Amino acid sequence: MKIGKTICCTVAALFGAGCASTTPTRETSAGYAVYDVKAGPEVGGARIAEAIKVALQKNTSRVQIVNGIPPSPLPEKAPRFALVSPLRGSNLGALAAAAGQSVQVPSCDGAILTANARDSSMATYGEATSFFACLMPYQGGYSLNVYTTFSKASGSFNAATLAATLARPLVGDTSQFIPRTLGRIVAGVQQTGATVTLLEAYP
């Protein structure tokens, strides 16, 4: 183990990286964007939902779609996604809490579209990006919420992750493409004739 660590540190030094960068590490970062969508009756929720689906299909590796029905009556104010714990109150939830882990997933009440998409094109190098998008109608239009996660493995898990770790300071990682995908979702919705306004985002 010590010999392997020494070799990794030597390789890292050759690339100008510190020895700590070779320590096997897994990291996940989350973000979100909430948009307000205004559309005339000639556009409709189905066309907006289709535009979101197509944008995800063009920019990710796998997409799962659930088409729902609008609530009745429609809420007066624009709804927003919430993070919920699917394990809350269960034995698995208690075990996760004891281990210092928190499992939360986005949820959208009254969504006419719920999409889960994943880009695994860089999985060999320990990187994966996921998109959760939902479209919720309300009396003044639609609330489009997109929740994203980016996970990466770094260090000496294997040769591929070590190579990616050493290259990231120079070329970055695939999280830089999340804003591009968000932009294409917005552009697709705008092409239906709807107007899209960003209300809040993180980061």
> SS3 breakdown of the chain: % helix, strand, coil, rounded to 5?
35, 35, 30
Cα-to-chain-centroid distance, residue 88: 22
Q: Tell me which of 83-92, 113-122, 132-141, 194-203 is least confident.
A: 83-92
Question: In terms of Cα–Cα distance, which of 152, 133, 155 is closest to 144?
Answer: 133
Tens digit of each residue's pLDDT (9 = 90 or more) over 49-77: 999 999 999 999 999 999 999 999 999 99
* pLDDT at residue 30 in the model: 96
Please tell me the predicted confidence (pLDDT) of residue 167: 64
List the one residue out of 107, 131, 142 whose CA is nearest residue 182. 131
> How wide is the angle at C-alpha 127 spanned by C-alphas 123 and 132, nearest 5°?
100
Average pLDDT over the chain, rounded to whole?
A: 84
Per-residue pLDDT reduced to its tens digit, 12-41: 444 445 555 678 888 899 999 999 999 999
Residues 116, 130 contacting (CB under 8 angstroms): yes
Fold category of 25-202 in CATH? Alpha-Beta Plaits (3.30.70)
pLDDT at 103: 79
Domain ranges of the chain: 25-202
Write the pLDDT tens digit of every residue in 108-147.
Answer: 999 999 999 999 887 787 899 999 999 999 999 999 999 9
Residue 151 has pLDDT above 80, yes or no: yes
- Which pLDDT belongs to residue 4? 44
Q: Taking the model in full, what pTM does it have?
A: 0.79
